[in-house]
């Protein structure tokens, strides 16, 4: 593999880790990095370049202070630099900010699911995909901003990123670790096949309550099917709480992204799990390579069945459905919770209104944070 060129958008909590890991990959010779915070971005890039020098690594890393909303300039940069791969780590609001609120408010927010927050993750991903299309680039795109839903929404307009990263895919190493310890086998001999949604990650990390939404899991250990040898749901809860005790999952997600990125840049490719492949809702087993993304579903599961599992599971995340024009329709519970907490209507979130909806929600959330700060 010749040294490849990666275009990275967003240097927040996740993007900073991605820059560190891709900068250390011998397969990557050049990185073009954009972030709207020019001062922070340059300092971060200089830090990475300095650290890499201690390892004898000297990739070309170029930083540009750009806002993804400036589609024309971003498209020009993509067209000029001609990257082999694009990575989106940009979002308008990170999920963990709600942790600054009291437990009662957090509980009320949790009843919304992720659905009302989707515009925050959708806006910048949409602008990047528009720039990608206008540039004429044919390079694959990895989207890390809620790919379980964002990739499907953008796919309704012909703007789907190639694949996503993280979310339910993070459960796979937890399953490997649990089964390997229980059966006293090396982790690499355990091969789970999982079809699951973003919500499953939240459910299993919290340990419930209640029963999880539908999912599919098959586990082979040393070539033997051991799926029926344990209680999936109970053991997934135990494994997830143990292995994801630290809320900062950015290093883990960045590692998953590195695997997918290097797979997409390789003729040999890699078998893994990922959300949002080819604009589908939820996560699936996949094979990624320079030839693209192929679903690697178990023989027992059809594509229609796999999609149905994830479309049913997304309702637990507050998403009733995604319509043909990209409009996200929220569940009644999500609508009621958003009205209670923020006093706004999120029953329907049209794609063309996502920027205005995001601004409204972020303003409401800042008011909530301010009120919480006044109380404490």
DSSP string computed for 234-272: HHHHHHHHHHT-SS--HHHHHHHHHHHHHHHT-SS-EEE
Q: Is the separation of the CB atoms in 120 and 333 below 8 Å?
A: no
Contacts of residue 347, Cβ cutoff 8 Å, sequence gap at least 6: 329, 330, 335
3-state secondary structure of 328: strand
Q: What is the pLDDT along the chain (376 residues), one digit of tens a residue?
A: 469 999 999 999 999 999 999 999 999 999 999 999 999 999 999 999 999 999 999 999 999 999 999 999 999 999 999 999 999 999 998 755 666 677 787 788 888 889 999 999 999 999 999 999 999 999 999 999 999 999 999 999 999 999 999 999 999 998 999 899 889 999 999 999 999 999 998 888 877 678 889 999 999 999 999 998 887 777 777 777 666 656 678 999 999 999 999 999 999 999 999 999 999 999 999 999 999 999 999 999 999 999 999 999 999 999 999 999 999 999 999 999 999 988 999 999 999 999 999 999 999 888 888 887 634 3
Cβ-Cβ contacts under 8 Å for 43 (sequence gap 6 or more): none
Cis peptide before 209 (omega within 30 of 0): yes
Q: Within a domain: residue 257?
A: no
Residue 189 located in a structural domain? yes
Query: Cα–Cα distance between 299 and 117 in angstroms, integer?
Result: 35
The total domain count for the chain is 1
Query: Which H/E stretch holds residue 41?
Result: helix 38-53
Residues 149 and 157: beta-carbon distance below 8 Å: no
Q: Is residue 301 part of a domain?
A: no
Q: How far apart are CA 347 and CA 330, in angstroms?
A: 5
Residue 195 counted as domain residue: yes
The whole-number pLDDT of residue 374 equals 38
Whether residue 190 is contained in a domain is answered as yes
Name the nearest CA neighbour of 191 among 213, 214, 220, 218.
220
Domain region containing 184: 169-243
What's the rounded Cα separation, in Å, for the pair 341 and 74?
Answer: 36
Contact yes or no for 337/255 (Cβ under 8 A): no
Task: Say if strands 190-195 and 163-164 run parallel, antiparallel, or are unpaired.
Answer: unpaired
Distances in whole angstroms, Cα of residue 10 to Cα of each of 17, 172, 180, 210? 11, 26, 36, 37
Which residues lie across from 31 on neighbouring strands? 6, 61
Cβ proximity of 216 and 309 under 8 Å:
yes
200, part of any domain: yes
197 is a domain residue: yes
Which contiguous run of DSSP H or E holds residue 321?
strand 319-322
Q: Return the pLDDT at 207.
A: 75
Residue 211: inside a domain, yes or no? yes
Taken in order 37, 42, 44, 45, is the CA torsion positive or negative?
Answer: positive
> Which stretch of DSSP H or E encloses residue 164?
strand 163-164
């Amino acid at each position: 593999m010749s040294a490849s060129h990666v275009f990275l958008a967003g240097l927040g909590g996740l993007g900073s880790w991605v820059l560190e890991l891709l900068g250390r990959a011998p397969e990557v010779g050049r990185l073009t990095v954009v972030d709207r915070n020019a001062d922070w971005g340059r300092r971060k890039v200089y830090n990475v370049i300095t650290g890499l020098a201690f390892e004898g690594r000297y990739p070309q890393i170029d930083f540009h202070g750009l806002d993804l909303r400036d589609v024309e300039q971003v498209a020009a940069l993509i067209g000029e630099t001609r990257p082999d791969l694009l990575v989106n780590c940009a979002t308008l609001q990170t999920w963990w900010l709600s942790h600054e609120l009291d437990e009662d408010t957090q509980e009320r927010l949790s009843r919304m699911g992720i659905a009302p927050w989707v515009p925050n993750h959708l806006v910048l991903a949409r602008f990047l995909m528009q720039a990608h299309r206008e540039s004429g680039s044919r390079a694959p795109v990895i989207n890390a901003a809620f790919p379980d839903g964002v990739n499907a929404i953008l796919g309704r307009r012909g703007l789907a990123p190639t694949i996503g990263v993280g979310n339910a895919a993070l459960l796979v190493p937890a399953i490997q670790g649990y089964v390997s310890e229980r059966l006293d086998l090396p982790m690499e001999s355990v091969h789970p096949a999982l079809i699951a949604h973003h919500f499953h990650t939240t459910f299993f990390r919290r340990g419930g309550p209640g029963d999880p939404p539908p999912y599919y899991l098959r586990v082979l250990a040393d070539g033997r099917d051991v799926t029926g040898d344990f209680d999936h749901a109970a053991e997934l809860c135990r494994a997830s709480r143990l292995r994801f005790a630290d809320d900062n999952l950015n290093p883990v997600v960045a590692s998953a992204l590195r695997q997918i990125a290097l797979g997409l840049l390789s003729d040999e490719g890699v078998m893994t799990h990922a959300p949002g492949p080819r604009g589908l809702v939820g996560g699936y087993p996949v094979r990624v390579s320079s030839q693209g993304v192929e679903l690697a579903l178990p023989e027992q599961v059809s594509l229609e069945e796999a999609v149905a599992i994830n479309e049913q599971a997304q309702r637990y995340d507050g998403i009733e459905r995604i319509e043909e024009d990209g409009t996200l329709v929220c569940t009644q519970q999500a609508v009621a919770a958003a009205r209670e907490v923020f006093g706004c209507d999120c029953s329907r979130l049209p794609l063309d209104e996502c920027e205005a909806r995001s601004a409204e929600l972020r303003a409401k959330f800042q008011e909530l944070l301010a009120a919480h700060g006044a109380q404490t």
